[in-house]
Structure 1
């Protein structure tokens, strides 16, 4: 699955928040309807079984309430994806990553091995469950952690015990820190604390480009890892550095031709937008290009990063370059050369914001959008609530414009086919919806001053009212946008015929 992640440290964000943002993309040709929900402690399983890998895991008996963005259809499992728990700890899982043959040969992925034969007969081999993966991570970890660091340690222990059947990157954040964990083979992992003054770009490629192994296996101040990582590296000759400074990308990652088409161009575009004056992009033969393997994992931005910056970047399709699929310049080959960030098969976008200047009761906001990002709108939702608005949580497998997911998906499909005729409608829709979102948050924050922080029901009532207000406002804007895009698309149908001269 292809996703794109942006992490923003608290000193790099516009308001001092830690921000974790990720597009969830479905496989090519598949579209996964999504919803956003609140999972209460009584609804959290005490024994969890994965649909895909069949692994069964006993869970602690004291889960916290948390938000999640699960699949609307559960035939392939829950896939909770992104959420914030009642301790204001956020988790985004996952960014599918790449690896190399040396790593996978040394520590193979833990894949489901189906049963062979018939029970009771000669030659029968029972099923062997696989490890844990994207389907499972949020459910197994988020309800039980009180900090981003705890998230790394809990998931790391689960990976060491059960293994994984895929390579993934997982983000954890709290009000002070963001941590990024990458799986390395079937049972190993590395993690790095995101410096406060930087942003991180993560396409579908192992990303951490420097690592302090002594810190990871010692104090763990800025790096963490599976306990036997040094032995694993040494025994399998994984460190390719010439100067003794471990580069995880070289040791554990990939630099394939496919990366240069599918992954590195996305990181290049984000960094070029957030650091436009860097000499890295200047001149006829710039140092860094869309296919460069040495794009840094993190950078200090030239200015502080806003929610709108993140939405723009995670909706982007190489605007202003010959690689834009909607461009009228460049060749047809150039316009389809690189995989854009904003594609047709987005399932959802979650931007997880933990605000240090707000009391704990209203500190966390989960911004949500559904379907193809170039054409959708981002909606803020407080997470310290008992339920989410129906408009964002009522998604089913049935196409229905009473659902924000399906309305967003319809707008995208219609607008893409008539891009130049509808782009003004889309721009106005996105600006109006997201301005309304900021206004709602400002009003609701002000109303929180009248609610006692000790009265949980009163707090939730105020926050739920704010969520419901913005869902209705966004629904009005979404319905209007769909009406306009449908009219434009209908008038542009190929079977149109004018009899009238007027």
Structure 2
């Protein structure tokens, strides 16, 4: 038995060097594709999640990639997860219908059926030469007959343990609190475990609110929570929170199989740091986006949900325990209103019989108008929250003083 670690080859662009025709001339080397390319060269040409995997896979085989990526594809029937595992190599696995997947910034698929991937492709897909690539480079590190792609292609560095695996650990302990003893003296998994499951069956069906909560986590209830007083200063800043300060945008894609295709998809969006923001449901089959969501310029302005959310987070962070009740009331109110407005729109479309043709211009305008109403509802509540947070933060400034203090 032998095994060796082989650096995964990337297809990197190299400009031409020297003068063309000269003996030392080195021609330009075309690079591979990357994350910024994938949306435009895949999405317009597919209709299902599986088609997306196969198209991107074929493009990777032809052009290669200059980076590591994990890409999710979803439709009303399936979700697939694809990982780029080398310059021209890729693997993809169908997410079981009853499972969720936690994927921090790592390659994470932990079991893979190569026979299925290179045969019928029911639950697994891969580049055609993957088995040969694994064999020639001694990449199967399993002691038995199974193949673990995480061992072969992934990472488990010290920085992963505080930056990546800790986030998967935090999500799984929230979504499966009774699956194991997370906090005992000998827990099955810790924030540094390299064998956290890629997919897991939750203890109940998950909601949009559940997804938003786990994507806003900062290790609540543990010594690693930066807003808690139960840990030491070192513990409170040891692990990278999921809800981190530099978040720009969050999207939760909801594909509702019980609704007509024309209005089936909703993109729930939020801006800035997740513990302090809210989700806004936006119908996707539209040709325009509300200005409050789309018009984010370099100039800071409360006419933009992005900038308002950034301001609220920055003000609330320093006074978390004093201000978070206002944030939570705002989140509950806006989420409830968002669900209600989506339901009202669904009912209005059904009554007007504008539900059958996705390309119908009148239907798209109805959906765009609904998005405007939803955005305006959120704007009113966000402006009100900003006023409350500003008032509370101002009263808690370090230079406060009152004669009644004497």
TM-score range, shorter chain: over 0.9
Aligned counterpart, 1:495: 399
Q: Is 2:15 the counterpart of 1:111?
A: no
Is the 8 Å Cα contact of residues 103 and 252 (structure 1) preserved in structure 2?
no
Is the 8 Å Cα contact of residues 83 and 107 (structure 2) preserved in structure 1?
yes
Quote how far apart the aligned CAs of 1:491 are.
2.3
Show the 5 A alignment for 1:296-307. 296-307=197-208
Q: Deviations over 1:80-111 (max 9, x none)?
A: xxxxxxxxxxxxxxxxxxxxx9342xx41112
Aligned counterpart, 1:317: 218
Distance of aligned partners of 1:448 and 1:225 in 2 relative to their CA distance in 1, 3 Å threshold? same
Aligned counterpart, 2:388: 484
Q: Distance in 1 between matches of 2:207 and 2:139?
A: 39
Q: Distance in 1 between matches of 2:174 and 2:245?
A: 22
Distance of aligned partners of 1:494 and 1:116 in 2 relative to their CA distance in 1, 3 Å threshold? farther
Distance of aligned partners of 1:122 and 1:499 in 2 relative to their CA distance in 1, 3 Å threshold? farther
Aligned counterpart, 1:425: 326
Match of 1:463 among 349, 362, 367: 367
Q: Distance in 2 between matches of 1:135 and 1:323?
A: 34
Q: Is 2:178 the counterpart of 1:277?
A: yes
Q: Distance in 1 between matches of 2:201 and 2:372?
A: 37
Q: Is 2:282 the counterpart of 1:381?
A: yes
- Whose helix proportion is higher, 1 or 2? 2
Structure with larger Rg:
2
Aligned counterpart, 2:347: 446
Is the 8 Å Cα contact of residues 260 and 356 (structure 2) preserved in structure 1?
no
Distance of aligned partners of 1:485 and 1:240 in 2 relative to their CA distance in 1, 3 Å threshold? same
Q: Distance in 2 between matches of 1:409 and 1:127?
A: 43
Aligned counterpart, 1:102: 5
Provide the aligned C-alpha RMSD in A: 1.8
Is the 8 Å Cα contact of residues 451 and 458 (structure 1) preserved in structure 2?
no
**Unaligned residue ranges in structure 1 (runs of 5+):** 1-100
Aligned counterpart, 1:410: 311
Q: Is 2:119 the counterpart of 1:218?
A: yes
Quote how far apart the aligned CAs of 1:458 are.
2.4
Count, aligned residues: 400
Deviates more, 1:169-178 or 1:246-255: 246-255
Distance of aligned partners of 1:462 and 1:256 in 2 relative to their CA distance in 1, 3 Å threshold? same
Quote how far apart the aligned CAs of 1:182 are.
0.5
Q: Distance in 1 between matches of 2:381 and 2:25?
A: 59
Aligned counterpart, 1:178: 79
Match of 2:233 among 327, 332, 338: 332
Show the 5 A alignment for 1:41-440. 102-104=5-7, 107-117=8-18, 123-281=24-182, 283-440=184-341
Quote how far apart the aligned CAs of 1:265 are.
1.1
Is the 8 Å Cα contact of residues 451 and 459 (structure 1) preserved in structure 2?
no
Is the 8 Å Cα contact of residues 251 and 268 (structure 2) preserved in structure 1?
yes
- 1:202 counterpart SS class: coil
- Whose strand proportion is higher, 1 or 2? 1
Q: Structure with the greater relative contact order (CA < 8 A, sep ≥ 6): 1 or 2?
A: 1
Aligned counterpart, 1:41: none
- Taking structure 1 as the reference length, the TM-score comes to 0.77
Is the 8 Å Cα contact of residues 263 and 355 (structure 2) preserved in structure 1?
no
